[in-house]
């Protein structure tokens, strides 16, 4: 993927990179209190800054992962959007980073980035669990009712007409698959 990003004509790689990171950038900016419009602007700005710097040769693999470098670019883009937004009278006081020092705002942005990366990895793993594994629909349903909806094992068993043992087996099977998918997806992010 990295070599493909250097080629301006390689739209497929850019699209793959964009699909991987834009949702994280957007959600991170929203978590920091930016409006949908400002969050979209910050995400776009971060991606453009990243691509420009990457193609200029600014990324050094020996200094860390590409996703960490992108996170730093994103923090600066979000803070820039926040500073522009906070200078407008009507927008003051709406952000989680208003009133923070630059160091505090950077730390808040980093925490938001890390949380959104983990959330996105989990969402991708759940989508793949549903779409790519041979897990039976009832097993997935039991797992989702238990793990995602927060229902008790007894309620899940009664609702689905299965035993408590079946519910716990569904949880165990799905968690094992989900953990493996999370590791695989996280490795894909970390190898960049």
CA of residue 69 relative to chain centroid, distance = 15
**Is there a single domain that holds both residue 112 and residue 183?**
no
Residues 120-129 pLDDT 10s = 899 999 999 9
How far is 166 from 139, CA to CA, in rounded Å? 8
**Is there a single domain that holds both residue 58 and residue 10?**
yes
**Is there a single domain that holds both residue 158 and residue 108?**
no
Tally of domains within the chain: 2
Tokens read off for 123: 């969402």
**Is there a single domain that holds both residue 70 and residue 165?**
no
Residue 125 lies in a domain: no
Q: Are 174 and 140 in contact (CB under 8 A)?
A: yes
Residues 80-95 pLDDT 10s = 887 777 666 554 444 5
Residue 127 lies in a domain: no
Q: Which range marks the domain in which residue 26 is found?
A: 1-120
- Residue 94's pLDDT is 47
Residue 128 lies in a domain: no
- Residue 150's pLDDT is 93
**Is there a single domain that holds both residue 102 and residue 12?**
yes
Q: Which residues contact 130 (CB under 8 A, 6 or more apart)?
A: 140
Of 52-56, 82-86, 107-111, give the lowest mean pLDDT range. Answer: 82-86
CATH code for the domain in which residue 192 is found: 1.10.10
Taking Cα atoms as reference points, which of 39, 20, 24 lies closest to residue 118? 24
Q: Is the pLDDT of residue 142 over 90?
A: yes
Taking Cα atoms as reference points, which of 163, 168, 131, 129 lies closest to residue 146? 168
């Amino acid at each position: 993927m990295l070599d493909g990003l250097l080629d301006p004509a390689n739209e497929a790689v850019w699209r793959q990179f964009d699909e991987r990171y834009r949702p994280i950038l957007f959600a991170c900016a929203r978590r920091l209190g930016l409006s949908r419009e400002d969050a979209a602007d910050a995400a776009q700005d971060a991606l453009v800054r990243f691509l420009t710097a990457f193609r200029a040769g600014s990324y050094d693999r020996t200094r860390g992962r590409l996703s960490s470098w992108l996170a730093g670019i994103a923090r600066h883009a979000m803070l820039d959007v926040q500073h522009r937004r906070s200078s407008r009278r009507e927008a003051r006081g709406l952000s989680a980073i208003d009133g923070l020092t630059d160091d505090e705002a950077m730390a808040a942005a980093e925490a938001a980035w890390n949380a959104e990366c983990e959330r996105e990895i989990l969402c991708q793993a759940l989508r793949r669990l549903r779409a790519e594994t041979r897990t039976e629909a009832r097993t997935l349903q039991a797992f989702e009712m238990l793990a995602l909806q927060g229902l008790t094992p007894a309620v899940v068993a009664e609702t689905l007409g299965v035993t408590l043992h079946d519910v716990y087996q569904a949880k165990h099977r799905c968690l094992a698959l989900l953990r493996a998918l999370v590791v695989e997806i996280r490795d894909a992010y970390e190898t960049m």
